[in-house]
Amino acid sequence: MAKTAKPDIRPHNTHFSSGPCSKRPGWSLEALSDAALGRSHRAKVGKAKLKQAIDLTREILAVPADYRIGIVPASDTGAVEMALWSLLGERGVDMLAWESFGAGWVTDVVKQLKLRDVRKLEADYGELPDLSAVDFDRDVVFTWNGTTSGVRVPNADFIPADRKGLTICDATSAAFAQELDFAKLDVVTFSWQKVLGGEGAHGVIILSPRAVERLTTYTPAWPLPKIFRMTSGGKLTEGIFQGETINTPSMLCVEDYIDALLWAKELGGLQTLIARADANAKVIHDFVAANDWIANLAVKAETASNTSVCLKIVDKDITALDDDGQANFAKGLVGLLEKEGVAYDIGHYRDAPSGLRIWAGATIEASDMQKLMPWLSWAFETQKAQLAQAAA
């Protein structure tokens, strides 16, 4: 039987998924009433909506004026693939990976693009590769925040200003919650389904002048699918970065993104969003510090994510189980919380070590995160008691 009594207070918002993430506080379908539904995205009203989304993105993220911002197909995955297929191959590339998505980009570059001059700098879940070993005379591909490991780069100090190669950064669970040093980043990608709680299927790609120069002076050795093409006749297709998307976007999803951006602006912009994520993550970190059965997957506190917080169960009775047993215990704990209607979708990512993954981004209220914590203790103790009873 659990030592902790079942809590009598539940979070108001029980959506702690790491993507698509919780909608902003107070969101309703009425917020989308001005969507340009049934209209062409190439009509004046459609292009105006897309341009508004781009302009608000620039304003809130403080993207430099000479960087291009485009809305592209297929979420963050599409944006990253667009960058990899369009820009790599001009020189050698260093691929950094410390979780599932970074490892996926390595696979694409080595097995699909079949580049030969590739260096892989990898680390286990919970840690970062040796950033001092990165060669910035080469192109560099990395995730800013590892969504499936909860490990992020603490800052961009490891990137030199006088680099010769391009830096291609998958920032999908970092944008709008962490400081991105655009002067050190040549390509930044994200999906608005993460920190701002938008809908899936749309990505954003941000290009520095150096990335644009590469696009217009280098032609890859392989054919490019239509949805990856950002140039025509050796010139940048500027319309993409003014709201003329490559393929048809959902104007309902665009309206939802605009609504989230306007909410962020009204709150106070980027610094307020970062502060909200930090406050949510602190609730979890304080809980972990006070309970010896659970730990942050991130080995070093300075690399721990403030959005996709990944936790491992370190109770000695649970770690004594085999891998399947540990995974089943974590799934059972998550299942208890879902059955109680307390927290949804907080299980570990399928390729990650077993445990919990709790979204702490800006659309979550710290008061809801605080209400969730006692439920974690109750679910752990309940699940452990059931395990002991089954073994008796």
The answer on 184 and 280 residing in a single domain is: no
266, 297, 314 — which closes off a domain?
A: 266
Q: CA 312 to CA 326: how far, in whole Å?
A: 10
The answer on 60 and 129 residing in a single domain is: yes
Give the domain extent around 252.
Answer: 31-266
The answer on 192 and 276 residing in a single domain is: no
Let me know if residue 68 belongs to a domain. yes
Let me know if residue 100 belongs to a domain. yes
Let me know if residue 12 belongs to a domain. no
Q: Report the number of distinct structural domains present in the chain.
A: 2
Let me know if residue 11 belongs to a domain. no
We report the CATH number of the domain holding residue 313 as 3.90.1150.10
Q: CA 317 to CA 109: how far, in whole Å?
A: 41
pLDDT band with cut points at 50, 70 and 90 for residue 2: low
Let me know if residue 175 belongs to a domain. yes
Q: Which two tokens stand for residue 243?
A: 């709201």
The answer on 250 and 298 residing in a single domain is: no
Please write the tens of the pLDDT for every residue from 274-303: 999 999 999 999 999 999 999 999 999 999
Please write the tens of the pLDDT for every residue from 111-133: 999 999 999 999 999 999 999 99
The answer on 191 and 312 residing in a single domain is: no
Q: Across-strand partners of 205? A: 70, 189
The answer on 127 and 40 residing in a single domain is: yes
Please write the tens of the pLDDT for every residue from 124-162: 999 999 999 999 999 999 999 999 999 999 999 999 999
The answer on 252 and 152 residing in a single domain is: yes
- In degrees and rounded to multiples of 5, residue 171 shows phi and psi of -115, 30
The answer on 92 and 201 residing in a single domain is: yes
Rounded percentage of the chain residues whose pLDDT exceeds 70: 99
Please write the tens of the pLDDT for every residue from 257-271: 999 999 999 999 999
Write the single-letter amino acid at 68.
Answer: R
Q: CA 236 to CA 209: how far, in whole Å?
A: 11
The answer on 282 and 222 residing in a single domain is: no
Let me know if residue 64 belongs to a domain. yes
The answer on 239 and 302 residing in a single domain is: no
Q: Give pTM, 2 decimals.
A: 0.97
Mean pLDDT of all residues in the chain?
97
Let me know if residue 6 belongs to a domain. no
The answer on 302 and 252 residing in a single domain is: no
Q: CA 182 to CA 286: how far, in whole Å?
A: 31
